[in-house]
Structure 1
Amino acid sequence: MTTRALLNTPQNPALAAALILLATVFIAATTLIAKALGTVAAGPALHPLQISFGRFLFAFVAITAVVAIRRPRFVSPHWGLHLGRTSFGWLGVTLMFASVAYIPLADATAITFLNPVFGMLLAIPLLGERVGPWRWAAAAIALVGAMILLRPTPASFQPASLLALAAAMVMGLELIFIKRLAGRERPLQILWFNNMLGCGIASVAVLAVWQTPTAAQWGLLAALGLLMACAQGCFINGMARADASFVAPFSYATLIFATVYDLLFFAMAPDWITVSGAGVILAGAALLAWREGRQRPSAQPPSGGDQDFSR
């Protein structure tokens, strides 16, 4: 969908909110499946590289089926930007899947909400962007929340939390490439190339750790990829039907669904540290989203629109 197509899409805020919320249901479900596959809950634990392989393989199959049915016209892709975006996206999702095997889904999800903060910080040296006091304040608030979730005391520190923090940093780098791609190519084309390249990278990386999944694990890997493809589709269509500043807060519902899933399937209730840290991160991320929405011209499409769905 080009910028012109985005602007000509009928605006429907209620439908946009519903689509974004549905996308968060799918996203939280992918982390739940990744946790089941990375632990003994679904059989012998699979390596994170194998889980991310399943995510990209089956998402690529699903999106290819959509492309085959719709037959969109693809323009010449910017291979350098696609490769950079996908490489960091693949690494980020792999680190995320590694973290959820050891820490609560709510903690990992909240920490990865730092990715737009890291994207903002990295845009200063890499894109030459200027950051005002409101954006600095938002970043500081979110980083304080991350420190709370890291539980930086000898008795409570969770080393696996650093995996989620690294995932957020890498996804922040991915946002730099997403911003460069914004407006250059249609979203469906970007998604297809992203998943195609991701499938290729993941296929090579998984060779070093491959173990044959059980039939149930193959089913979960397929569900992981299909849910991710559905989430990306819902998110793109939601973003096309309302301003980014309106729909952005709804994406934070991922944290709610991740917490519910963890409680229902792993009996892991969030403690006061999780609630406090997640609340602080969400406050910083919401402030940043609000500020970005006020500064972005209404005719400009969201530059980092799929930031929460690059997994």
Structure 2
Amino acid sequence: MSHKEAPLTAVLLMVTATLFIAGTTLAAKALGTDTLGPKLHPLQVTQGRFIFAFLGLLVVAAVMRPKISNPNLKLHGARTFCGAIGVTLMFSAVAFIPLADATAISFLNPVFGMIFAIPFLGEKVGPWRWLAAGLAFLGAVILLRPGPETFQIAALLALGAAVMLGLELIFIKKLANREPPMQILLINNLIGCILISIAAVAVWAQPTLAQWGALAALGLMMAAAQTCFVNAMARADASFVTPFSYLTLIFAALYDWAIFSAVPDRVSILGAVIIVSGAALLAWRETVNRNRLRRVPHSGGGRI
């Protein structure tokens, strides 16, 4: 069912989604350190994310009663595999580096998605898009702090997460043209539950009561974030609402400061600003490209 244009509602939904997304990284950091008890393996944290997110989505599905029809299980499996690895790497990274740094590096995922779209979707990439990618990568290099005494090896985990999440975007694009959003979310989280539960058997440890609560909060916040994001995109143009997703970086920094007393330094701020600038430039060029295609629907499409 299509929604009417509601820009203010879309903004509120997107801001709410960013609050939840930043909250998931905070919960992951607490679970990956000894804050709530003996630290849990990232695979177990990811398992909790999928299980409780799936349970939350089941409640939503019980109300919405969506029809599940003709799912492409190969695409769903590939999407979930990439996403699960990406999330696990991200949860590993936030245990060692500031939330703001890990979150900023994760904003590279649309850039990697652009790069992967060249061989997998046959898209052409022109100078403006490459400039956006170059800016974002420059910001990532700054956050990696390339020096013998300052290099953050753990930041490579966040970089790996961005690569896998960028690849996941390719499968999401393929699925979005074939299946409704709720069906995609339900199947994604169900497959994720199964795959990660198998992988986490070897490292599973009994969580403390506080860790059970954090795992539940992590999964439910992720389900809420996904729901808010999907509904925000349905109520306004992506070009209008997507920039508000960058608030995730601010909320992550605030959470890290409030809970772990971590204050971003100048290098972190500089790197984050450059990455977000590159991502924003990429979003702007995507908007220009879409508007051009709308005006000339039968054109061959040049490089953008």
When normalised by structure 2's length, the TM-score is 0.95
Deviation at 1:75, TM superposition (A): 1.4
SS of 2:204's equivalent in the other structure is: coil
Q: 1:8-58, CA deviations, whole angstroms, 9 ceiling, x for partnerless residues?
A: x11111110110000000000000000000001111000000000000000
Per the alignment, residue 117 of structure 1 pairs with 111
Per the alignment, residue 200 of structure 1 pairs with 194
2:49 maps to 1:38: no
Instruction: Please show how residues 46-61 of structure 1 align to structure 2 within 5 Å.
Output: 46-61=40-55
2:252 maps to 1:227: no
Mean CA deviation greater in 159-168 or 68-77: 68-77
Q: 1:275-311, CA deviations, whole angstroms, 9 ceiling, x for partnerless residues?
A: 00000000000000111122125999xxxxxxxxxxx
Deviation at 1:69, TM superposition (A): 2.3
SS of 1:154's equivalent in the other structure is: coil
Instruction: Please show how residues 1-311 of structure 1 align to structure 2 within 5 Å.
Output: 5-6=1-2, 9-297=3-291
| CA distance in 1 between partners of 2:78 and 2:158 (Å) | 20
Mean CA deviation greater in 78-87 or 65-74: 65-74
Question: What count of residue pairs does the alignment treat as equivalent?
Answer: 294
Structure 2 unaligned runs (5+)?
Answer: 295-304
Q: CA contact under 8 A between 1:143 and 1:281: conserved in structure 2?
A: yes
Alignment RMSD (CA, Å) = 1.2
| CA distance in 2 between partners of 1:291 and 1:202 (Å) | 36
| CA distance in 1 between partners of 2:207 and 2:269 (Å) | 35
When normalised by structure 1's length, the TM-score is 0.93
| CA distance in 2 between partners of 1:288 and 1:202 (Å) | 33
Per the alignment, residue 298 of structure 2 pairs with none
Identical columns (%): 60
